[in-house]
């Protein structure tokens, strides 16, 4: 999937356990009856799609086409789709295990043993709705064995997946985040998933969160919601905006601390439903005692676990005549600490989330110096890294861990600096590659890099695993999140836009007076707005933050452009200002 695919290509998966009867789709034509319904449909008011059941005397190919078409039933259900299966196949089919989406119409062909379905540009998502990227090539032709049952053809075995047209999902699903904790239980980490639009959003979000983190996230995130719980019917919302979350199952031994963390997960996840103001939780009919003895937990609670960094500084930082400076606009003033008092010969800087420490890379790219930002904090500038080759701008996570990428003759070397010194970290797909730039999420669970490839730049992401004390364990193999490389649009700069998306700045080859700005989602799914924007001006870098309300700036030599404002005002930079950035 390339960067230029339109928003129509955006697709998603179901929060499986909520869609017990399933959901899926197929070509926009076929044996489907679409009418208007007074009750309406989630995400598409007034539309009611009633697929036809198997027709008498249908050929094998017609049965398969009807099976796929039946999964576009709206409201969502797969009862009709099961009628196209043999009795044994219908009993064992679990379409909630996975969702597969495809472009256009599939190619359906009969063979000696059954029917094959060839999918074009298929992607897939797990049972929770988390984007998994392109479907492996070996699975792009779906083989459906057929059997003659009670005088009619039926499908004798179906994949445990919902195989649907991407356009159908694009109209009916939305991307949301499920909130888990980092392994130290210090900060929330959002995980994007796709869920159905409509009135059942609270139920859908709750059930998806109860499923726990997706496969592959062991030691990356953790949940404090007891495993095995399910939603008891649904999550009603009162006129006062209170969501009553009735759960059933084994709640285990809940402590005040685990309840607080569980409620923070639920509050951050369910605040995406605009109608909800507060939550109440019960397990098997017994009310869960809420923190502080309150009767309902507000959805704006748990602010101290903000994935964008609790109490993170909203100021801009940069270098002014070689000294560390900060401010809210284009005129950055030198800070009172050692790096603001003297020009230490640094070319780039990174500042910790609470703006207590800063690190700078020297002009030759070989040394990193660090110092307190404020003169009120005791301490002097000291050298923390030597012997580098071409160190990129440092990044920081919530734990005051500094991240570095050194562009050596043998490719990128990733390391981090903590209380116990500097440590190398092997990041498959980034280590040893030609890296243009990188960022680390404030929650410390994601490392994103721009990797140069022969076909063009590619944005890749690795997940960082830690133990419960915060010690780094490993990094997962980096996977692309920007689609196919495009040699015509090199990635000049990247910056966080939200905790789950990044802004990308790309120059045009034919002119230095225009640049392209677009978004990438951390899961690799097409960005929510699905479009790119052309911005005038010779912009060289981005200053971006995942915190809501912090503007995104495109930075040039003498001015910045506020890319978050509708009129994109230009902000002059004070003379000698370089390396403008946010904390992190």
Residue 53 has pLDDT above 70, yes or no: yes
Question: What are the tens digits of pLDDT across the range 443-496?
Answer: 999 999 999 999 999 999 999 999 999 999 999 999 999 877 776 789 999 999
Q: What is the pLDDT of residue 403?
A: 98
Q: Using 50, 70 and 90 to split pLDDT, how confident is the model at 235?
A: very high
Q: Taking residues 271-292, what's their average pLDDT?
A: 96
Model pTM greater than 0.85? yes
Residue 542 has pLDDT above 60, yes or no: yes
Question: What are the tens digits of pLDDT across the range 160-176?
Answer: 999 999 998 888 889 99
Q: What is the pLDDT of residue 76?
A: 79
Q: What is the pLDDT of residue 6?
A: 35
Residue 38 has pLDDT above 50, yes or no: no
Specify whether the backbone of 579 is left (phi greater than 0), alpha (psi in -120 to 50) or beta: left
Q: Using 50, 70 and 90 to split pLDDT, how confident is the model at 351?
A: very high
Residue 232 has pLDDT above 50, yes or no: yes
The string of DSSP letters for 40-96 reads --TTSTTEEEEE--PPTT--HHHHHHHHHHHTT-BS---HHHHTTB-HHHHHH--GG
Distance CA 552, CA 501 (A): 12
Residue 86 has pLDDT above 50, yes or no: yes
Q: Using 50, 70 and 90 to split pLDDT, how confident is the model at 12?
A: very low
Residue 10 has pLDDT above 60, yes or no: no
Torsion sign (Cα): 463, 469, 472, 473: negative
pLDDT above 70 as % of the chain: 91
Q: Which residue has the tokens 């903590």?
A: 418
CATH number of 316-581: 2.120.10.30
Task: Provide the mean pLDDT of the chain.
Answer: 90
**In 3D, which of 134, 257, 126, 133 has the Cα closest to residue 186?**
257
Long-range CB contacts (within 8 A, 24+) of 529-535? 529/7, 530/6, 530/7, 530/8, 530/9, 530/10, 531/7, 532/3, 535/561, 535/563, 535/568
Distance CA 240, CA 122 (A): 43
Question: What are the tens digits of pLDDT across the range 306-326?
Answer: 999 999 999 999 999 999 999
Q: What is the pLDDT of residue 512?
A: 82
Top mean pLDDT of 33-47, 514-528, 570-584 is at: 570-584
DSSP 232: S
pLDDT above 90 as % of the chain: 80
The string of DSSP letters for 483-552 reads -S--TTS---EEEEEETTEEEEEEE-TT-SSEEEEEEEETTSSPPTT---EEEES---EEE--SSTTPPP
Question: What are the tens digits of pLDDT across the range 283-311?
Answer: 999 999 999 999 999 999 999 999 999 99
Pairing relation of β-strands 242-248 and 479-480? unpaired
Distance CA 25, CA 120 (A): 14
Q: What residue segments make up the domains of the chain, in order of their start? A: 7-172, 174-305, 316-581
**In 3D, which of 246, 269, 200, 264 has the Cα closest to residue 40?**
200
Question: What are the tens digits of pLDDT across the range 328-340?
Answer: 989 999 999 999 9
Q: What is the pLDDT of residue 11?
A: 33
Q: What is the pLDDT of residue 46?
A: 55
């Amino acid at each position: 999937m390339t960067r230029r695919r339109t928003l129509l290509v955006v697709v998603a998966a179901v929060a499986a356990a909520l869609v017990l009867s399933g959901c899926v789709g197929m070509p926009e034509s076929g044996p489907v009856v679409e009418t208007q319904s007074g009750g309406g449909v989630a995400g598409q008011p007034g539309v009611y799609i009633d697929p036809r059941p198997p027709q008498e005397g249908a050929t094998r190919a017609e049965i398969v086409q009807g099976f796929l078409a039946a999964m576009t039933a709206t409201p969502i259900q797969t009862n009709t789709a099961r009628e196209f299966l043999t009795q044994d196949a219908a009993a064992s089919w679990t379409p909630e295990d996975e969702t597969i989406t495809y472009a256009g119409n599939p190619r359906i062909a009969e063979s000696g043993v059954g029917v094959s379905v060839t999918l074009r540009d298929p992607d897939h998502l797990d049972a929770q709705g988390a984007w998994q990227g392109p479907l492996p090539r070996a699975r792009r032709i779906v083989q459906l064995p057929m059997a003659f049952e009670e005088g009619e053809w039926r499908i004798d075995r179906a994949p445990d997946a919902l195989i649907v047209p991407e356009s159908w999902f694009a109209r009916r699903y939305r991307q949301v985040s499920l909130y888990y904790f980092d392994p130290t239980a210090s900060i929330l980490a959002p995980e994007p998933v796709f869920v159905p639009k409509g009135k059942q959003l609270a139920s859908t979000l709750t059930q998806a969160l109860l499923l726990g983190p997706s496969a592959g996230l062991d030691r990356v995130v953790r949940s404090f919601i007891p495993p095995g719980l399910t939603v008891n019917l649904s999550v009603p919302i009162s006129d006062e905006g209170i969501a009553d979350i009735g759960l059933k199952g084994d709640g285990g031994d809940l402590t005040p601390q685990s309840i607080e963390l569980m409620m923070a997960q639920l509050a951050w996840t369910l605040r995406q439903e605009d109608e909800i103001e507060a939550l109440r939780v019960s397990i098997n009919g017994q009310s869960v005692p809420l923190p502080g003895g309150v009767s309902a937990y507000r959805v704006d609670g748990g602010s101290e676990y903000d994935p964008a960094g609790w109490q993170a500084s909203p100021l801009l930082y940069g270098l002014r005549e070689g000294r560390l400076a900060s401010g809210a606009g284009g005129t950055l003033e030198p800070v009172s600490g050692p790096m603001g008092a003297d020009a230490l010969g640094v070319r780039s800087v990174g500042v910790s989330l609470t703006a207590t420490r800063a690190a700078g890379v020297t002009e030759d790219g070989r040394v990193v110096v660090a110092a307190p930002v404020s003169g009120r904090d005791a301490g002097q500038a000291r050298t923390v890294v030597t012997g580098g080759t071409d160190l990129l701008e440092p990044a920081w996570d919530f734990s005051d861990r500094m991240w570095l990428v050194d562009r050596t003759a043998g490719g990128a070397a990733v390391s981090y600096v903590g209380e116990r010194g500097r440590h190398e970290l092997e990041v498959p797909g980034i280590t040893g590659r030609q890296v243009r730039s990188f960022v680390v999420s404030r929650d410390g669970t994601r490392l994103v890099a721009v990797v140069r490839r022969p076909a063009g730049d590619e944005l890749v992401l690795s997940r960082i695993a830690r133990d419960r004390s915060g010690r780094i364990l490993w990094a997962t193999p980096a996977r692309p999140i920007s689609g196919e490389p495009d040699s015509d649009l090199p990635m000049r700069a990247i910056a966080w836009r939200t905790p789950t998306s990044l802004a990308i700045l790309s120059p045009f080859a034919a002119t230095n007076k225009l640049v392209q700005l677009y978004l990438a989602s951390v899961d690799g799914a097409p960005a929510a707005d699905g479009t790119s924007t052309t911005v005038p001006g010779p912009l060289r870098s981005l200053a971006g933050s995942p915190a809501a309300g912090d503007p995104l700036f495109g930075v040039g030599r003498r001015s910045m452009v506020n890319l978050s404002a509708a009129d994109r005002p230009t902000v002059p930079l004070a003379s000698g200002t370089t390396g403008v950035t946010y904390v992190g």
